[in-house]
Every structure is written in C-alpha cells, then in structure tokens.
Amino acid sequence: MENILLLSIFGVLALYYYSSMSVYKSMYRKIKEEKEMIDDSNNTRIKEIKRLENSFNDALETIKESDNTLTKAREEVQRVKLQNNELKHRNDLLQQRVDELYSSVGMI
C-alpha cells in the first residue's frame, strides 16, 4: 500500500515536471521568437537612422555649397555695383567736362 502511494506520488510529480517542462519550453521558444522579431525591428530602425543621417549630411553639404555659391555671387554683385558707381561717377565728370568745353567753344 505504501509502495503504491509512493509510486502514485512520484507519478504525479513526474507528470507535473514534464508538463511544466513543456510549458517552459514553449514559453522559451515564444520568447526567443519575440527576441528575434525585436532584434530585426531594431536592426531595421538602425538602418533607417543611418540612411536618414546620410541624407541629412548630404543636405548639409548641399546647403554649405549653396551658401558658398551665394556668398561668391553676392561679392561679385557688390564688386559690379562698385564698378558701376565708379563708371557713373566718371561719366558725370566727363559730362561736366564736355559741358565746360561746349560752353568754352560757345564763348569763342
């Protein structure tokens, strides 16, 4: 009687052990699958971040090049404006000289 009772207790414990072991194995598989999904998602996000960083750096390079081009164009426009003002001033002086010459020819 005691042997049957001990065998039934060990049987119940063995069933409990194997059933809980299968539950833990299935939980381990599910957790492993979820971890792989999260790792894949993380890798995808890292690639996306790198792609966005590269496009951001390209945009910065383009902005810097545009700024340099605009600076050179502004300097050229300022130089041309100064040259234009100088030419206008010389034209005014020459026009005054022509007027003086015409008036002196008119007096003669």
pLDDT digits (tens, 9 = 90+) for 53-86: 999 999 999 999 999 999 999 999 999 999 999 9
pLDDT at position 105: 81
Quote the CA–CA distance of 76 and 25 in Å, as a whole number: 76
Assigned token pair, 87: 């030419």
Quote the CA–CA distance of 94 and 86 in Å, as a whole number: 12
* Residue with more model confidence, 1 or 49: 49
Quote the CA–CA distance of 55 and 52 in Å, as a whole number: 5
Quote the CA–CA distance of 68 and 58 in Å, as a whole number: 15
